[in-house]
Structure 1
Amino acid sequence: MPLTPAADSTHFYYGLDTLFGHQTKNVACLFDVKRLDDDEPPWFVLHAHPPLPDDLAKAQIVVFSAEGRQISGIVRSTERLDDGSLRLNVEPD
């Protein structure tokens, strides 16, 4: 399925669990969203373009706007691509 334009493709939130508890951070970057309809409920691929914070690859949850609504989900896997971008596979919660 083609990438769908995100409603706000320059800003999203992500959560990390650290030694000091849960931290919510935000990142300002360009991103694209791809909906994977093979699963029920459908998963999303969040493709974030650099510059990116170093800890984004360790994100456990994300919240972003796409398809005209706010979507939150659990990051099930991440992949750093050759161009420096990051692919996050997100299961909606």
Structure 2
Amino acid sequence: MDAILPVNGMARIDYTQDTLFGPITRHVECQVSLQHQAGGTVLKVFQPLPDDLRDAQTVVFALEGRRTRGVVKHRRHLADHSLRLELERQ
């Protein structure tokens, strides 16, 4: 079985964005769902979420006492207005 059941909860997400003036670090607390798959990690972030999270290059978050860091490989807005981030864990 490639996928493990998702873990849901409230998480603080620290994320970086590349700008003309260099990387900017921001943070937000959101309800999330985390699922580890064979190809990487999928983080689904539910509303309300900041508009600039979709432009994140890297994310670091803690959920259920476990800290995860990853590079955003793919992002997609879903029909329920949540944001799906596919991460390559570091």
CA contact (8 A) 2:11 2:63 kept: no
If the length of structure 1 is used for normalisation, what is the TM-score? 0.85
Instruction: State the aligned residue count.
Output: 87
Aligned-pair CA distance for 1:78? 0.3
Q: Which runs of 5+ in 1 are unaligned?
A: none
Aligned partner of residue 56 in structure 1, secondary structure: helix
Q: Which runs of 5+ in 2 are unaligned?
A: none
Which residue of structure 2 lines up, in the alignment, with residue 4 of structure 1?
Answer: 7
If the length of structure 2 is used for normalisation, what is the TM-score? 0.87
| Whole-angstrom distance in 1 between the partners of 2:69 and 2:52 | 18
| Whole-angstrom distance in 2 between the partners of 1:46 and 1:81 | 12
Aligned residue runs from structure 1 range 34-73, under 5 A: 34-36=35-37, 38-39=38-39, 43-66=40-63, 68-73=65-70
| Whole-angstrom distance in 2 between the partners of 1:10 and 1:50 | 13
Aligned-pair CA distance for 1:66? 3.6
RMSD of Structure 2 on Structure 1 (CA): 1.4
Aligned partner of residue 83 in structure 1, secondary structure: coil
Which residue of structure 1 lines up, in the alignment, with residue 21 of structure 2?
Answer: 20
CA contact (8 A) 2:11 2:62 kept: no
Aligned-pair CA distance for 1:67? 6.1
The one-letter code matched in structure 2 to 1:3 is P
4+ aligned runs moved over 3 Å, structure 1? none
